[in-house]
Structure 1
Amino acid sequence: MLRIGTPEEAGMSASKVAYANTYAKQMVENNITPAEVIFVARKGIIVSHQAFGNLTPAADSPLLTTNALFPLCSITKVFTAACIMILAERGLIGLNRPVADYIPEFQGLGKENVRIHHLLTHTSGMNPEDVYTYARGEGSRAQVPPCEETEEPYFHEYFHRRYATPLSTKPGEIMSYLGFGYDLLGEIVRRVSGISYPDFVMQELFEPLGMNDSYFKVPHAERHRIVKRSPEDPCAEWLETEEMIESVSPSAGIYSSAMDLAIFAQMFLNNGTYGDQRILSPISIKEMTKNHIPGVSSVYRDEIFPEASWGYGWSINGSKKDGGDLFSQEAYSHWGAAGVFVAVDPVYDILLIHFTIERDLEKPFKNMYTDHFNNVMLAAIEQF
């Protein structure tokens, strides 16, 4: 289990870790971000867990604390992928089976060839623009059947407006990052398990891992811990809403603390265990954290990736230098909208979490200073 220790115990330079902490603090002092939580652990030893800045933009805001709740946004996808692997280990689904085997309503030309692994690696052949356009066009006229007890009414209608979205490419040809694909995976979890998606996550991940600060639908008693954005901050128009706080989205719905996310990440470094709990087998961990789409390219905003390098849920570093220049090629990570990031490097036995409120208005979702912080902290490693 994670424990507090010294940098020396973790094979890191105490002076360089101190410099990295100061570097992070200066991001707030220099108004790069108004709120920041960092968490770094190596060899299971916590060498840095600090908070800088304010909880809210109000003049009388309390200081930010390390147990503040941040919206994980797209990092939620890795939790959904873990749930899919749990079902696969129990013989309840197959990753090479058609999505339509589990969601018969998922119909359309060529969609019988879309497999679960295509959803996991964002290579289904659907793209977000087409999903959006279809839902507001032909999908808006789709008949929506009655909602089941384990379904959220919003998502029930959301799916039936989108199931028939046509493919834009053949499955497996290109990677197109797609939240809807992970929402479909969450629906598969619900249908196969027989319980709601958030209940499955709670029973199989949050509770056994002791992630007591992680939520879908954040309870009112805990909402005072949620970090707040100014109206002009990127994504504030949807992050600062009741709908987001109440979301059960399998692609973007979790609120959590840095410590809780670190527990989840450490479980991967531990080959599927944390404390006395085994969540996933070592083989599932290996499969989730390797590149399953060699030779497949991707375009994201203004960046072109000849090798998209994606595992099951995780972005695989490969040659992308994603989130830091000093990570090994075997490192895996995930961004979340507007300033949250988690990375795990099994070669260097380290995990890094960087929670911020993004202020880079030119490139939202891509905090250009997270890589700087990660480089500084990785450079503190001295012993292997």
Structure 2
Amino acid sequence: MGKLDVHFLSLIENGSIQSASYLIARNGKVAAWKSMGKLDGTADRGDLQPDSIRKLASITKTFTTVALMKLVEDGKLYLDQPVCTIIEELNNPTHQDITLYHLLTHTSGILPVGGYFNEPYPNPWWGTNGMEDWIRKVLQGPLYYRPGEAYNYSSAGFLLLGEIIQRVSGVPFESFVIENIIEPLQLDRTFFDVPESLHGQVCVVDQWDVNLLKPQEDYAKLPPRSDSGLYSTLHDMWKFGQMLLNGGAWNSERILGRRTVELMTRRHLFGKPAYQWGGKLQDKPHALGFDIAADHMTSFETQGTFQLEGAGRSALFVDPTEQMVVVFFVPSVSSWVPLSVLGTKQIIWSSLM
């Protein structure tokens, strides 16, 4: 049994995580693909499988970034474009300087994700009347920082990016992603709405997860699901990551141009502070829609690896130097189990020969 399996089994046995699955690919070929632990934290439905479906949470943002960059490639948007030229609610002295670039790099200064500042009782931004008038709700109050001043992780910013995509493309955000990314890549087990016939193959940890599988009554009244709405599998996520590693192409399908991928996956933030869940960083590295590994004494990933985690329970890493794609799911009732992510990265990258 390999070191990685022992690591995951230890976390499962001590109750830190419910289960684990991982896929590691190098040079375009899958080298390891395995799972262990329970599929369901609410009922006995057997074991997690290598092709089980799992909610991606914030990894959805990588699809949103690719979708937006397709519109940039088509000449319909530009990265320094003020958001207020598309969404009228931002046409005011507080928000008029926010650009698409600021939203993609989490430097807009608008509402951060709940709990970002380790506040003990984060409030949902939607308040009364649900999601009605959601754009004005996420813009209420002052900016946390001036645009471009600091990294301020904002799912609300990616909701605005989804709104921009659907206004500029003329189709719902979800339809644009399906037609331009999911279908061309043949991501057959990637969904915004998992078919009911496949609900039994979805990994869930609690009743909240179960409830999320139920379709909403009227998506037209809700924000686009551009921050955390996708479900997928390890294999589908590998194909997505491999497409980026290939410079925007998968087999005969080209999703993005090579120069677009280079722009999207290189470091853009230098010297920007970030508080982020208690960690007071003075220099937060970030690409466009991706975190990026920089030259740091505690980073095991190769410098230039672009990556994103989803709610501390899922992760995608693309390492151009090692020609490697790593995807893993570590479902847990805890929002963040450090060893399930940090320890996993250490084992994988330290084992490279």
Query: How does the TM-score come out when normalised to structure 1?
Result: 0.82
Deviates more, 1:277-286 or 1:56-65: 56-65
Deviations 1:4-44 (A, max 9, x none): xxxxxxxxxxx9xx333343344334433222111100111
SS in structure 2 opposite 1:264? Answer: helix
Shift of 1:242: 3.3
Shift of 1:165: 4.7
**1:181 corresponds to which of 157, 168, 174:** 157
Alpha-carbon distance between aligned partners in 1 of 2:310 and 2:6, rounded to the nearest angstrom: 24
Deviations 1:119-175 (A, max 9, x none): 000000213279x879567xx69xxxxxxxxxxxx7663224334553232100011
Kindly indicate whether residue 94 of structure 2 is the aligned counterpart of residue 110 of structure 1: yes
Alpha-carbon distance between aligned partners in 2 of 1:117 and 1:180, rounded to the nearest angstrom: 14
What's the counterpart of residue 228 of structure 1? 204
| 1:134/1:24 CA distance change after superposition, 3 Å | closer
Kindly indicate whether residue 317 of structure 2 is the aligned counterpart of residue 346 of structure 1: no
The answer as to whether partners of 2:58 and 2:310 remain within 8 angstroms in 1 is: yes
- Which amino acid in 2 is paired with 1:84? L
What is the 5 A alignment of 1:96-175? Answer: 96-128=80-112, 135=125, 157-175=133-151
What's the counterpart of residue 327 of structure 1? 301
Shift of 1:292: 1.2
Alpha-carbon distance between aligned partners in 2 of 1:133 and 1:376, rounded to the nearest angstrom: 37
**1:370 corresponds to which of 316, 341, 344:** 341
Deviates more, 1:102-111 or 1:154-163: 154-163
Alpha-carbon distance between aligned partners in 2 of 1:230 and 1:161, rounded to the nearest angstrom: 29
Deviations 1:223-243 (A, max 9, x none): 111112146xxxxxx434237
**1:241 corresponds to which of 211, 226, 229:** 211
Alpha-carbon distance between aligned partners in 1 of 2:48 and 2:178, rounded to the nearest angstrom: 26
The answer as to whether partners of 1:339 and 1:367 remain within 8 angstroms in 2 is: no
The answer as to whether partners of 1:109 and 1:167 remain within 8 angstroms in 2 is: no
What's the counterpart of residue 50 of structure 1? 34
What is the 5 A alignment of 1:1-384? Answer: 18-58=2-42, 60-128=44-112, 135=125, 157-230=133-206, 238-242=208-212, 249-319=225-295, 325-358=299-332, 361=334, 364-365=335-336, 367-382=338-353
Shift of 1:366: 5.1
SS in structure 1 opposite 2:275? Answer: strand
SS in structure 2 opposite 1:249? Answer: coil
Alpha-carbon distance between aligned partners in 2 of 1:29 and 1:377, rounded to the nearest angstrom: 21
| 1:376/1:88 CA distance change after superposition, 3 Å | same
Shift of 1:211: 0.4
Shift of 1:325: 3.5
| 1:65/1:88 CA distance change after superposition, 3 Å | same
SS in structure 1 opposite 2:77? Answer: coil
Please report the RMSD computed on the Cα atoms of aligned residues, expressed in angstroms: 2.6
Alpha-carbon distance between aligned partners in 2 of 1:19 and 1:197, rounded to the nearest angstrom: 41
Alpha-carbon distance between aligned partners in 1 of 2:126 and 2:197, rounded to the nearest angstrom: 36
Where has structure 1 moved over 6 Å in runs of 4 or more? none
SS in structure 2 opposite 1:191? Answer: helix
Give 5+ residue unaligned stretches, structure 2.
Answer: 115-121
What's the counterpart of residue 4 of structure 1? none
Q: Percent same amino acid at aligned positions?
A: 26
Shift of 1:244: 7.4
Shift of 1:106: 2.0
Alpha-carbon distance between aligned partners in 2 of 1:239 and 1:157, rounded to the nearest angstrom: 26
| 1:101/1:372 CA distance change after superposition, 3 Å | same
Shift of 1:317: 1.2
SS in structure 2 opposite 1:305? Answer: coil
What's the counterpart of residue 12 of structure 1? none
| 1:164/1:58 CA distance change after superposition, 3 Å | closer
- Which amino acid in 1 is paired with 2:231? Y
- Which amino acid in 1 is paired with 2:300? L
Alpha-carbon distance between aligned partners in 2 of 1:60 and 1:127, rounded to the nearest angstrom: 39
The answer as to whether partners of 1:262 and 1:353 remain within 8 angstroms in 2 is: yes
The answer as to whether partners of 2:42 and 2:205 remain within 8 angstroms in 1 is: no
- How many residue pairs end up in the alignment? 341
Alpha-carbon distance between aligned partners in 1 of 2:156 and 2:165, rounded to the nearest angstrom: 14
- Which amino acid in 2 is paired with 1:186? G
Alpha-carbon distance between aligned partners in 2 of 1:104 and 1:93, rounded to the nearest angstrom: 16
